[in-house]
Amino acid sequence: MALPSLWSLAPDLVVQAGTFSKVFCPGVRLGWAVGPRDVVAQLAAAKQTTDQCAGGLGQRMVEAYGRAGHFERRIPEARALYASHWRAVEGALARHMPPGCEWSEPTGGFFTWLRLPAPLDTVALRPAAIDAGVNYVPGRAFYVDGRGADELRLSFSHLSEADLGTAVERLAGVIRAHLG
């Protein structure tokens, strides 16, 4: 059962924000926000100072797509696709990751967090992973206090299920090689 969003519980206090890029087109960098009118107005003003405004063509494309009902049809398809990708990654992680590796189970989206055994550092490990054909975002980039050296964010949105399994197997090989 899905839990209610914080915004649905307190729309007068909470801002909910999202993007169209994952359900429409990654190149159309448009997002949305709902919440208290004064806060949303401040967000809009801040955005205007950074890029003046979003391109009109992309805005019209998203509008036409939405008015035609495509979001209602596409979102369940996207959820099913990313769920099958997650299942492929989850199975590969369970089969190939060495002891001491832990990962999150996403409840939405298309990323998992992987925590590696000490003393591995995901920034130092990244060149070897890239040489093996696997890319990820080191966890340290998501913390302001220097934590996350042993964590990484792994996406499962783009590749096929078979290629995701291969990527996880390659990453596990790199991790094993650096554990000694």
The answer to whether 174 and 102 have CB atoms below 8 angstroms apart is no
Rounded CA separation 13/6 (Å): 9
Q: Is residue 81 predicted with pLDDT exceeding 80?
A: yes
pLDDT computed for residue 164 by the predictor: 97
Return all residues near 100 (Cβ < 8 A) that are at least 6 apart: 116, 117
Q: Where are the domains of the chain?
A: 12-68, 76-179
| Cis peptide bond N-terminal to 117, omega within 30 | no
Looking at the predicted structure, is the pLDDT value of residue 93 above 90? yes
pTM of the model: 0.77
Single-letter residue type at 155: S
Q: Tell which wins on pLDDT, 53 or 32.
A: 32
Per-residue pLDDT at 23: 77
Instruction: Tell me, rounded to whole angstroms, the distance of Cα 41 from its chain centroid.
Output: 27
pLDDT value, residue 26: 67
Closest by CA to 171, choosing from 110, 50, 108, 89, is 89
Which of the four pLDDT bands, split at 50, 70 and 90, describes residue 37? very high
Q: Which residues, in sequence order, are bridge partners of residue 33?
A: 17
- Look at residue 48 in the predicted model and tell me its pLDDT: 81
Partner residues linked to 155 by β-bridges: 111
Which is higher by pLDDT, 8 or 1? 8
Whether the per-residue pLDDT at 78 is higher than 90: the answer is no
Q: In the CATH scheme, what is the code of domain 76-179? A: 3.90.1150.10
pLDDT at site 28: 76
